[in-house]
């Protein structure tokens, strides 16, 4: 079954986002691009919010965000109910974010990770599955925290 994700970047992540599209095609992940569409300066929370809200509404199961450090996008996305965005700087972190934390958004640091490593991280994240089991109750506790603070 083909997976379809929501994809976005700010100006710092624009070029990397365009390169990542080829990797997504290679692994059979379809995507809708929520912008930005150039390297002109934009505010990263606007793009993180678009992706996160689309996931929260159930329009997409997963998303991918790219900014300079990956951190700003992840912080913004994690403010939206039901989103578990993880910053990953290597394949293992990406895989564990999916397997153990059921992360549904990958946030990447365009300025800090070489292109070839970015592609490996994307493949690791989008080909890994949540393992459930003992990890399920931990992810449920995250949802409880979210519910108690809304």
Q: Is 67 a catalytic residue?
A: yes
Condensed to tens digits (0 to 9), the pLDDT of residues 131-142 reads 888 898 888 898
Contact 9, 21 (CB under 8 A): no
100 is catalytic: yes
How much is the pTM? 0.94
Q: How many domains does the chain have?
A: 1
Q: Which domain covers residue 50, as residue numbers?
A: 3-148
CATH of the domain at 81: 3.40.1400.10
Q: What is the pLDDT of residues 97-145, one digit of tens each?
A: 999 999 999 999 999 999 999 999 999 999 999 988 889 888 889 888 8
């Amino acid at each position: 079954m083909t997976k379809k994700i929501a994809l976005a970047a700010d100006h710092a992540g624009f070029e990397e986002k365009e390169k990542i599209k080829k990797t997504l095609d290679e692994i059979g992940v379809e995507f809708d691009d929520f912008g930005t569409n150039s390297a002109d300066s934009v505010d990263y929370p606007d793009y993180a919010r678009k992706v996160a809200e689309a996931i929260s509404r159930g329009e997409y199961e997963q998303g991918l965000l790219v900014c300079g450090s990956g951190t700003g996008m992840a912080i913004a996305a994690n403010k939206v109910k039901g989103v578990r965005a993880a910053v990953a700087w290597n394949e293992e972190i990406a895989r564990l974010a999916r397997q153990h934390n059921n992360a549904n958004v990958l946030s990447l640091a365009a300025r800090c990770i070489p292109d070839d490593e970015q592609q490996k991280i994307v493949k690791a994240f989008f080909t890994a599955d949540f393992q459930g089991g003992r990890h399920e109750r931990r992810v449920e506790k995250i949802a409880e925290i979210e519910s108690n603070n809304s």
